[in-house]
Amino acid sequence: MLHPGTSSTPAVRPTGRTTTAGTLCLLLGPALAVVLVLFAGGLVLGMLQAGGYVPGRGLSSLTVEHVGNVLLDSELLRSFGLTFYISATSTLIACLVSVLLAMALVRLAGRSRTIYFLLQLPLTVPHLVIAISVLLLLSPSGLIARLGVTVGLIDGASSFPLLVNDPLGIGILAVYVWKEIPFITFMLLAVLKNMGTELLEAGATLKATRRQRFFHITLPIIAPALGASGLIVFAFTFGAFEVPYLLGRTHPLLLPVWAYRNYSDIDLLSRPEGIAIGLLITVIIIVSIVLSHLLLGFARKRGITV
Amino acid sequence: MIRPGFARTSFSRKLHVFLSVFLIFAGPVVPVVTGQVLSWDEAVSGARGQTVDWYMWGGSPAVNAYVNGYLADEVKRRYDITLRQVPVKDIAEVVSKLVVEKQAGKDDGGSVDLMWINGENFRTCLRYGLLYGPFADVLPNQRYVDWTNPTVKNDFGTPVEGMESPWGSAQMVMVYDRARIAEPPRSVGALLEWIQAHPGRFSYPAPPDFTGSVFIRHIFYHVAGSVDRWQGDYTQAELEQAAEKTYLVLRELQPALWRGGSTYPESPVRMDTLFADGELDFSFSYHQGDASRKILDGLFPDTVRTYVFDEGTIANTHFVAIPYNAADKAAAMVVADFLLSPEAQLEKAKPGVWGDFPALSQQKLPPQWQQRFADLPRGPATLDDVELQSHQLPEPPSEILIHLEQGWEQQVLKNR
């Protein structure tokens, strides 16, 4: 029997399910305020600074000169190309491996909680830690190279292949791929678990080959989640600073490192240019997010829940 | 690790540009007002019972402990002065606060009594008349300072002229491993030859990193053939010519650098790691005792040693200054004097306390104090004060520094 004072009456009564617009605003208010003030505010400040805003002179001091300088810089295309190459390649590799891994896991591990726990572990490790680990492991004087010298596989540090601060960005790619596979796999597993085996069994009954079942049943179902998580990864790697700073080369620079370099320059005049590069990165990331959102909406229309 | 002078300098350079831009729009430049400076006796008698608010970079626990412990206790006991440390992230913030106070006409009763500054912050203060003085000549302990030493006489190219009082010094030293190299190249010219003869064994952090930047200034001094010329009047054409020669030498050097110069360490920390890992045969540091500390920490082998070039290495001095509107000028002067006393400088130089190098000239000290400084336990890699002080070159003005950093990026890094 329940006493009134200790009753476990739910805070929201079943009849009060329909929330009015007013309560919705109230509930979302604090979160929205943070987003608006910090992100939108930061964006506006960024635009002002990229425009070379000088406090004493008001809005008349705004100019597009700095943005123009960045857009006309011959380095921009090179930096953009390199950043795009790193982001696209790491996203692609991570997506491919994740699809295979998720399918293997859903078959082998089923609903095992341990597997999920293990998958979540790498998600908690910061990129910075992995970047330093890769540096310690893969540099010409790193752990693997030393092991190779000890075992007699290579003659010395100089004969070890260049894997960090290298022209192809292998070190950076390694970090991103290692970090993003668990994330994408995690997203895919959720979808694959909900999908169940019925559709596949039906396909098998209708004599679809494994290949056909993958391309006509599994892939269409996981595609939205794959696309969305892939875009999130792409957007993140496009704007991340610490990994290319540690594992990249002095020249050419990835866009985020270039932005940082300009922003922290002794010469105050290169600061607006740093911000302009930052805004450019933001634009690309926003486009990625919008695309990812459209994909999700498209999937919902087809009745697939993610 | 404590990085007294140069860490703040790189911050301050940024501020300077900010302030210059700010002041251009904020109003006309205020002329320097030099008032009557207290005599030493007036300072001591007036200091009794006063409280000194010392604004300084507060990022180092060792420095904070020295200031709040030893220094605060001693000035209380000796002069009845209460020393209060006001830790700030960047002294440049305080300088901008003073600029605003100056504009607002707040000419006395200011809350800042003493500041730990150098380089661009000092130049900014002078330019806008934010300092009290010249007071340094009045302090009795100035007799131990060698004012003819260009690294003390000029602060990053700006004549000090008694407007700030020295506190300590930082100097670039070369780092090598005795077990690998028996006799290191003892001049910049010899080092350049050594690098060419041993491809892939040398590198420097990419400027604008402060340590990498000081390396290219050594090359600049080497090719320009003169150091003093850049302290005084030089023409833009002379600078351009010497800078071009510097880039040429550095471009020629590039193929012989670590990884053929295709990339550079991003920081001195990385350069030290590469050195310890045996990828590089040299490292260098803008702190005289850094290598010893790294031996102590187990990061470097015991056989690591430091040396200075025969022609000298670049050094800078960090100072304390008194704002024009300080409320407790007398006590601030007494504290500035005590900072320079042999006992306070010796305490500061102890590796367990702070390990900062003295601003005092060893030659000017009485023999018993010279002995005490010489007896200080310094790590196996650290040179003695006499050797260091007799090989000091001044920093050039920061406009040369910026010119070289930008030129390096355009002409050395990108022109491959």
Q: Does B10 reside within a domain?
A: yes
Q: What's the pLDDT score for residue B119?
A: 87
Question: CA A74 → CA B385, B407, B413, distances in Å?
Answer: 49, 17, 15
Six-digit token string for A198? 């019925």
Six-digit token string for A40? 């939108």
Q: Which of B297, B255, B257, B288 is nearest to B274 (CA)?
A: B257
Can you tell me the distance from the alpha carbon of A205 to that of A198, in angstroms, rounded to the nearest whole number? 10
Residues B196 and B290 in one domain: yes
Q: What's the pLDDT score for residue B11?
A: 43
Residues B25 and B132 in one domain: yes
Tell whether the model's pLDDT for residue B413 goes beyond 70.
Answer: yes
Q: What's the pLDDT score for residue A111?
A: 66
Q: What's the pLDDT score for residue A8?
A: 43
CATH number of the domain to which B42 belongs? 3.40.190.10
| Contact residues, chain A, for B398 at CB < 8 Å | 266
Q: Does B389 reside within a domain?
A: no
Residues facing residue B283 across a β-bridge? B175
The amino acid present at A54, given as its one-letter code, is V
Task: Provide DSSP, B110-147.
Answer: BS--EEEE-HHHHHHHHHTT-B--S-GGG-GGGGGS-T
Q: Does B161 reside within a domain?
A: yes
Q: How many separate domains does chain B show?
A: 2
Test A266 with B208 for CB contact under 8 angstroms.
yes
Render pLDDT for B255-275 as a digit per residue (tens, 0 to 9). 999 999 999 998 899 999 999
For the ranges A26-35, A236-245, B174-183, B195-204, the lowest mean pLDDT is seen at A26-35
Can you tell me the distance from the alpha carbon of A244 to that of B337, in angstroms, rounded to the nearest whole number? 48
Mean pLDDT score, B181-205: 96
Q: What's the pLDDT score for residue A160?
A: 84
Band (pLDDT 50/70/90 cuts) for residue B96 is confident
- B181 or A26, which is more confident: B181
| Cα dihedral B159/B165/B168/B174 (nearest 10) | 10
Ranges of residues in chain A with a pLDDT under 50 are 1-16, 305-306
Render pLDDT for B389-406 as a digit per residue (tens, 0 to 9). 999 999 999 889 889 998
Q: Which CATH class is domain A73-301?
A: mainly alpha
Test B278 with A167 for CB contact under 8 angstroms.
no
Can you tell me the distance from the alpha carbon of A171 to that of A132, in angstroms, rounded to the nearest whole number? 10
Residues B154 and B178 in one domain: no
Can you tell me the distance from the alpha carbon of A57 to that of B22, in angstroms, rounded to the nearest whole number? 10
Render pLDDT for B9-46 as a digit per residue (tens, 0 to 9). 444 444 444 554 444 444 444 444 445 789 999 999 99
H or E element: which one contains B283? strand B282-285
Q: What's the pLDDT score for residue B232?
A: 79
Can you tell me the distance from the alpha carbon of B32 to that of A3, in angstroms, rounded to the nearest whole number? 81
Test A251 with B414 for CB contact under 8 angstroms.
yes
Confirm if A145 and A160 have CB atoms less than 8 A apart: yes
Q: Which of B16, B70, B42, B220 is nearest to B138 (CA)?
A: B42
Mean pLDDT, chain B, whole residue set: 89
Q: Does B93 reside within a domain?
A: yes
List every span in chain A annotated with CATH 1.10.3720.10: 73-301
For the ranges A157-161, A179-183, B324-328, B378-382, the lowest mean pLDDT is seen at A157-161
B67 is in which domain, residue-wise?
4-169+316-377
Question: Does residue A3 sit at the B interface (CB-CB below 8 Å)?
Answer: no
Q: How many CA atoms lie within 13 A of B207 on its CB side?
A: 22
| Contact residues, chain A, for B18 at CB < 8 Å | 268
Q: Does B382 reside within a domain?
A: no
Q: What's the pLDDT score for residue A60?
A: 65
Can you tell me the distance from the alpha carbon of B69 to that of A164, in angstroms, rounded to the nearest whole number? 46
Test B266 with A246 for CB contact under 8 angstroms.
yes
Q: What's the pLDDT score for residue A119?
A: 80
Render pLDDT for B219-243 as a digit per residue (tens, 0 to 9). 999 999 889 899 878 999 999 999 9
Question: Does residue B208 sit at the A interface (CB-CB below 8 Å)?
Answer: yes
Q: What's the pLDDT score for residue B258?
A: 94
Tell whether the model's pLDDT for residue B369 goes beyond 80.
Answer: yes
Q: Does B25 reside within a domain?
A: yes
Test B413 with A250 for CB contact under 8 angstroms.
yes
Residues in chain A: 306
Residues B134 and B39 in one domain: yes
Q: How many CA atoms lie within 13 A of A2 on its CB side?
A: 6
Can you tell me the distance from the alpha carbon of B352 to that of A103, in angstroms, rounded to the nearest whole number? 59
β pairing state of B165-171 and B313-321: antiparallel
Q: Which of A54, A61, A179 is nearest to A128 (CA)?
A: A179
Residues B363 and B268 in one domain: no
Question: CA B62 → CA B10, B57, B142, B346, distances in Å?
Answer: 21, 12, 25, 15
| Contact residues, chain B, for A157 at CB < 8 Å | 277-279
Q: What's the pLDDT score for residue B35?
A: 56
Residues B255 and B128 in one domain: no
Render pLDDT for B107-161 as a digit per residue (tens, 0 to 9). 989 999 999 999 888 988 998 899 998 999 999 999 999 999 999 999 999 999 9
Confirm if B142 and B167 have CB atoms less than 8 A apart: no
Residues B25 and B118 in one domain: yes
Q: Is the peptide bond before A252 cis (omega within 30 degrees of 0)?
A: yes
Of A57, A141, A250, nearest to B278 by CB-CB distance is: A141
- B4 or B108, which is more confident: B108
Band (pLDDT 50/70/90 cuts) for residue B80 is very high
Residues B200 and B248 in one domain: yes
Q: What's the pLDDT score for residue A54?
A: 60
Residues B195 and B151 in one domain: no
Residues 6+ apart with CB under 8 A from B369: B342, B346
Q: Does B199 reside within a domain?
A: yes
Q: What's the pLDDT score for residue A62?
A: 78
